[in-house]
Copies of this chain bind each other. A is one copy, B any other.
Amino acid sequence: METVTIKDIAKALNISTSTVSRALRGSYEINAETKRLVMEYAEKVHYSPNPIALSLKENKSRAIGVIVPEIANHFFSQAINSIEEVANSRGYHVVIFQSHESYEREVTNIQHIIARKVDGLLISLSGQTSDVSHLHEIQRKKLPLVLFDRISHKIDAHKVVADNFDGAFKATEHLILSGRKRIAHITSPSLLSITQERLAGYRAALEKHGFQYDESLVKYCGFSAEEPKRIIEELIESQNPDAIFTTSDRLALDCFSALREKNILMPNDVAFIGFTNLKVAHLLEPSLSTVVQPAFEIGQAAAELLLDSIERKTTNIEQFRTIKIPTEMIVRKSSES
């Protein structure tokens, strides 16, 4: 990787490196002619400043770290999409890490991130994360931090989330209003903030309409390939729901698969709604109404919040913000049975 440095330019032009530097960054105290000369030569040899040297000098890397449970998950890849967009437009680069839903790997990632000297960190917690001392460590080091989507209440920091309560409320109410009585809720691990918020929305809707909350209709699923399948089959068999409200593409698909196998028809036998991202959702199953996860908006807001936080000099007496992105419900005609 051959490179042209400021030194090479200085040597070639028989001037000092400081002059070159000044010319390049358009300092005013410089001879117009010298400046032109330098600029021309720099252009000619494709000079580009070494960002690593800059980083060392300024003690910042113009890179932000992003830790997500899994890249190959539509929600997170969409979020990363917008994060990348915002970051790039503001001159930052994005360094990606995956926790693979493992607390340990999340901690390791954090260590890497700290060592890497990124200027800030965006994180969505793993399904196993309960203890957040690794995040406190980040804050102790005064590294700007924004949690998004899967957050923790054990830490005071910037947060960006979907309005999961409202989304779940709307979803559940939709099922109720279309006449369903036994509305199952299949959701993510109970540890996660999104799980709790959605459960609360589900319960609130039930209560509003005079339904009794029935614990046996609620199932938490991990991220393995088999567990959801098993749990869902069990639920369908033993609880006989006439509607299902689920919280991810993955779980929705597993539900469809299970229903298909048992020859249970949607929307006749079972009405369905889910928090999903796939544009495919309604192709998959025309009766699938959806609460769209605002992945793009969450990533965008999180990245902007982080960059603002990085660039604000007076980072000390900073108020932590929590941004809640509204969700949109898309109701398919065919589910209005």
Contacts and interface: CB of A to CB of B under 8 A. Distances in A.
Interface of A: 1-3, 48-53, 55-56, 59, 61, 63, 70-74, 77-78, 80-81, 84-85, 88, 93-98, 111-112, 114-117, 119, 141-143, 253, 256-257, 260, 278-280, 283-284, 286
19 contacts: A1-B142, A2-B141, A2-B142, A48-B111, A51-B117, A52-B61, A53-B56, A56-B56, A71-B80, A71-B84, A72-B78, A72-B81, A88-B97, A93-B95, A94-B96, A253-B279, A253-B283, A257-B283, A278-B280
Nearest to A66: B96
Contact of A141 (B1, B53, B73): B1
A53 to B, nearest CB: 6
A111 B88 CA distance: 13
Nearest to A140: B2
Among A56, A72, A279, A283, residue most surrounded by chain B Cβ atoms (within 10 Å): A72
A267 to B, nearest CB: 16
A98 B74 contact: no
A80 B257 CA distance: 28
A94 B95 contact: yes
A251 to B, nearest CB: 12
A244 to B, nearest CB: 15
B1 A117 contact: yes
A3 B141 CA distance: 8
B98 A112 contact: no
B48 A114 contact: yes
Contacts of A70: 81
Contacts of A283: 253, 256-257, 260, 284
A4 B3 CA distance: 31
A272 to B, nearest CB: 13
Given A53-B56, A71-B81, 12 more contacts: A1-B142, A2-B142, A3-B59, A48-B114, A50-B56, A52-B55, A71-B80, A77-B77, A81-B98, A93-B116, A95-B96, A96-B96
Contacts of A80: 71-72, 96
Pairs of residues from A and B, 4 with the lowest C-beta to C-beta distance, nearest first:
A77-B77, A72-B77, A72-B81, A72-B78
A63 B95 CA distance: 9
A1 B142 CA distance: 5
A211 to B, nearest CB: 30
A88 to B, nearest CB: 7
Contacts of A72: 74, 77-78, 80-81
Contacts of A48: 111, 114-115
Nearest to A70: B81
Contacts of A49: 115
A61 to B, nearest CB: 6
A197 B324 CA distance: 46
A53 B119 CA distance: 15
Contacts of A143: 1
A63 B117 CA distance: 13
A6 to B, nearest CB: 14
Given A63-B95, A88-B97, A93-B95, A117 B74 contact: no
Contacts of A280: 253, 278, 280, 284
